[in-house]
Amino acid sequence: MTLLSDDRWRDLLETRATRPEAVAEALAGRRRRPRLTDGRLLLVAADHTARAMLGVRDDPTAMADRRSLLERLLVALAHPGVDGVLGSPDVIEELALLGALDDKLVAGSMNRGGLEGATWELDDPMTAYSAAAIADAGLDAGKVLLRIHWGDAGTRETIVACAQAVCELADRGLMALVEPLPYHSGADGKPTLWFDQIALTRAIGVAAALGNTTAHTWLKVPVTAKIERVLASSTLPALILGGSPGKDPEREYAAWSRAMEVPTVRGLVVGRALLYPLDGDVASAVDRAARIVRPGGS
């Protein structure tokens, strides 16, 4: 990967330090594209670090090197089958300064305050983009993470915050990506992602009804063994999230392919599995995902 040369990296750092106005200029000057062209979407996710998530597989700090992360994102966004990126403000602005967002959809991540491992993890306030900031920056969508734990009071505030975000995005005609994830308490008492079909179906029901209109709402859901039954609970378009990458990428690709057969599934939102593939070949991983979203396409 050589898209982020030493000179380009130094220029980015110098701009960050000396020309703060360049961020707004870069965002205002980027070429926009229609939200949908063929009804399919492949988005690369890069909002993990804002929630203190740095690990990939056995490396607890894999995403801590920002230059490496940006290099991987540049490789991914250069693929014609990648429609855009989902990120926190710092990442989105860096990509804008690097000129990587032309003709791409850009979704801003909103609630990043539920830090991984924190005692308040499921009380997830809006600490990144607001709907107004997303609109002002000329972005195309906002994403909220809706983690639901029926035994954690922090969930209530998160539901209210996410509902408000959906309303504010819809008022501006912007897509709301809502990611419903059920949680339960693990053996150590800490909140743990719950890959249970019924729990996920219930969470989708809550997510699909957020706000005063669902006209602009899309769901972002994990793959389960019976994803067709889970998604039968809503007519909203859905994107499959990549989740934490494992050590069997073929299994992950196969699961994504099966999910794409569900009528409401319109594409993928994948981060670490594409940016940090097991074999290190980002371009090949992205190409594989692009062919899953658009078989026979570019």
Domains of the chain by residue range: 40-293
The CATH superfamily holding the domain 40-293 is Aldolase class I (3.20.20.70)
Does residue 73 surpass a pLDDT of 90? yes
- Averaged over 290-298, what is the pLDDT? 87
Residues 160-201: tens digit of each pLDDT = 999 999 999 999 999 999 999 999 998 888 889 998 999 999
| CA atoms 280, 285, 227, 35: torsion sign | positive
What local confidence, expressed as pLDDT, does residue 186 receive? 84
Average pLDDT for 65-79: 98
For residue 148, the cross-strand partners are 182
Say whether 217 sits in a helix, a strand or coil.
strand
pLDDT tier for residue 244 given thresholds of 50, 70 and 90: confident
pLDDT at 243 (0 to 100): 82
Is pLDDT at 298 greater than 60 in this prediction? no
Q: Is the pLDDT of residue 37 over 90?
A: no
Q: What are φ and ψ of residue 28, in 5° steps?
A: -70, -30
pLDDT at 214 over 90: yes
Closest CA to 141 of 194, 94, 87: 87
Q: What is the mean pLDDT of the chain?
A: 95
Residue appearing with tokens 């505030």: 157
Q: How far is CA 224 from CA 57, 149, 290, in A?
A: 20, 18, 21
Choice between 228 and 37, residue whose per-residue pLDDT is larger: 228
Q: Please compute the mean of the pLDDT values over residues 242-254 and round it to a whole number.
A: 91
Q: Is the pLDDT of residue 1 over 60?
A: no
- Kindly tell me if the per-residue pLDDT of 107 is higher than 80: yes
What is the reported pLDDT for 4?
Answer: 95
| Arithmetic mean of pLDDT, 189-217 | 95
For residues 23 and 217, what is the distance between their CA atoms, to the nearest angstrom? 28
Q: What number is the average pLDDT over the span 268-287?
A: 97
Tens of pLDDT, residue by residue over 114-142, are 999 999 999 999 999 999 999 999 999 99
Nearest to 87 by CA among 99, 98, 96: 96
Cα 289–chain centre separation: 15
Identity of residue 132: A
Asked whether the predicted pLDDT for residue 286 surpasses 60, the reply is yes
What percentage of residues in the chain have a pLDDT greater than 70? 99
> What was the pLDDT predicted at 2?
73
Q: What is the average per-residue pLDDT within 20-24?
A: 98
